[in-house]
């Protein structure tokens, strides 16, 4: 239970008898923050699962550049001891996606890689003719082939990977469901010794530049 860690760390900091050094206080506060963030992620998963089961979960796709959005999620998800590389091929990469739902999917994939994968994680974003591919790959052992069929089922991902205390077991099921809501898909494969999750979303044309808009406005005025 992540909240147990939060409560314990705060109690240690507030205990006059503990006589903690400033560095120790900082460590306990960092622990409390980390545990609180992870507790919030579990609650988010449970709320999304509840809305999904009630048919009340919506996605509102819009034109969005996935490159800066992906960088933001990586920066907020990174933890010490794990290297997360990022490559945006030919950016900006425009897609039709709900920014909030996209961030939830990517956060789940990165959290999954940090918990179960290898030390080296890389993310890439690339546009093709009609789709955009977002790949999260790590150098871990991957999923036991016997349990691949259950990887995207609710509460059953733990069969395929060692469960981590406090995880909801819903992350991959939620991520694929959100991908489908945006007209995309999420798939898993082992490739060249890497564990690879690939999110596919509909691509979109880039919006007109400011200069193009100015020219259009000028021509409309002349007419």
Tell me: the pLDDT tens digits for 45-72? 677 666 667 676 778 999 999 999 999 9
Percentage of the chain lying above the pLDDT 70 cut:
74
Q: Give the pLDDT band (50/70/90) at residue 36.
A: confident
**What whole-number distance in Å separates Cα of residue 71 and Cα of residue 134?**
12
pLDDT of amino acid 144? 84
Exposure string for 63-73, b = 16+ CB within 10 A, e = fewer: ebbbbebbeeb
Q: What is the pTM of this model?
A: 0.72
Reading the block at residue 74, the tokens are 């990586």
Q: Who wins on pLDDT, 9 or 192?
A: 192
- Whether the link from the prior residue into 92 is cis, omega within 30° of 0, is yes
Q: Give the pLDDT band (50/70/90) at residue 37.
A: low
Q: Residues 6 or more apart from 131 whose CB is under 8 A from it? A: 184, 200, 201, 202, 203
Mean pLDDT of the region 101-123: 91
pLDDT of amino acid 30? 76
First to last CA, the chain: 67
**What whole-number distance in Å separates Cα of residue 7 and Cα of residue 35?**
10
pLDDT in tens, 139-197: 998 888 888 888 888 765 544 454 444 445 678 988 999 999 999 999 999 998 999 99
Reading the block at residue 21, the tokens are 């050094």
pLDDT of amino acid 202? 96
8 A C-beta contact, residue 96 and residue 183:
yes
Q: What angle do CA 58, 59, 60 make, to 5 degrees?
A: 120
């Amino acid at each position: 239970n992540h909240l147990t860690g939060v409560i314990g760390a705060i109690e240690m900091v507030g205990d006059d008898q503990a006589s903690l050094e400033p560095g120790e206080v900082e460590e306990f506060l960092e622990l409390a923050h980390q545990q609180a963030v992870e507790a919030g992620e579990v609650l988010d998963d449970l709320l999304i699962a509840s809305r999904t089961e009630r048919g009340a979960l919506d996605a509102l796709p819009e034109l969005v550049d996935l490159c800066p959005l992906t960088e933001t999620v990586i920066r907020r998800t990174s933890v010490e001891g794990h290297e997360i590389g990022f490559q945006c091929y030919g950016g900006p990469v425009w897609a039709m996606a709900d920014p909030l739902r996209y961030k939830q999917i990517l956060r789940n994939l990165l959290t999954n890689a940090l918990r179960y994968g290898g030390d080296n994680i890389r993310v890439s974003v690339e546009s093709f003719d009609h789709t955009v591919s977002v790949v999260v790959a790590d150098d871990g052992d991957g999923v036991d082939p016997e349990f691949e069929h259950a990887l995207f089922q609710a509460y059953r991902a733990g069969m395929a990977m060692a469960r981590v205390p406090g995880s909801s077991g819903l992350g991959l099921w939620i991520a694929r469901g959100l991908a489908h809501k945006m007209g995309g898909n999420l798939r898993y494969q082992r490739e060249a010794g890497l564990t690879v999750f690939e999110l596919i979303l509909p691509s979109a044309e880039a919006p007109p530049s400011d200069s193009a808009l100015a020219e259009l406005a000028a021509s409309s005025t002349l007419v």
